[in-house]
A and B are shown apart, each in its own frame.
Chain A
Amino acid sequence: MTPTILVSIWVPRLLRGLLLVVLLAFLLSPESFESLLKPLVQPNAPAIYNQGSLLTITLLHLRTVFLATVAATVIAVLLAILVTRPFGAEFLPLSRSLVNIGQTFPPVAVLALSVPAVGFGEKPTLIALFLYGLLPIFENTLTALTNLPRPVMEAAKGSGMTSIQRLLKVELPLSLPVIVGGIRLSVVIGLATATIGSTVAAKTLGEVIIAGLQSNNLAFVLQGGLIVGALAVLIYDALGAVEAMLARRAGLA
Chain B
Amino acid sequence: MIEIDAITKRYDDITVVDTVSMIVEPRTVTVIVGTSGSGKTTLLRMINRLVEPSSGAIRLDGEDSRSIPGHELRRRIGYAIQGHGLFPHRTVAQNIATVPNLLEWPKARVDAKVEELLSLFQLDPKVFANRYPHELSGGQQQRVGVARALAAEPKVLLMDEPFGALDPIIRAKAQEDLLAIQKHFETTIVLVTHDMDEAFHLADKIAVMDKGRVLQYGPPPELVRHPANPFVQTLIGDMQRPFRLLAVSTVAGATEPGEAGGEPISEDLSLQEALAELMWSGRRAAPVISQTGEMVGRITLDALLKHAARPK
Contact = CB atoms under 8 A, between A and B. Distances in A.
Nearest to B95: A155
Contact of A151 (B82, B132, B134): B82
A124 to B, nearest CB: 40
Given A160-B99, A160-B102, A251-B132, A155 B85 contact: yes
Nearest to A250: B89
Given A159-B79, A251-B88, A252-B88, A154 B74 contact: no
B74 A158 contact: yes
Interface in A200-253: 249-252
A151 B45 CA distance: 13
A159 B88 contact: no
Nearest to A166: B71
Contacts of B145: 155
Nearest to A248: B132
A144 to B, nearest CB: 13
Contacts, number: 67
A158 B89 contact: no
B102 A152 contact: no
A173 B76 CA distance: 25
A150 to B, nearest CB: 8
Interface size class of A (residues with CB under 8 A): 20 to 34
A151 B85 contact: yes
A20 B121 CA distance: 52
Contacts of A162: 71
Contacts of A170: 87, 89
A80 B171 CA distance: 43
Interface in B74-91: 74-76, 79, 81-90
Nearest to A176: B89
Contacts of B85: 149, 151-152, 154-155, 158
B193 interface: no
A165 B134 contact: no
Given A158-B48, A160-B71, A160-B74, A250 B99 contact: no
A157 B73 CA distance: 11
Interface of B: 48, 50, 71-76, 79, 81-90, 98-99, 102, 132-134, 145, 148
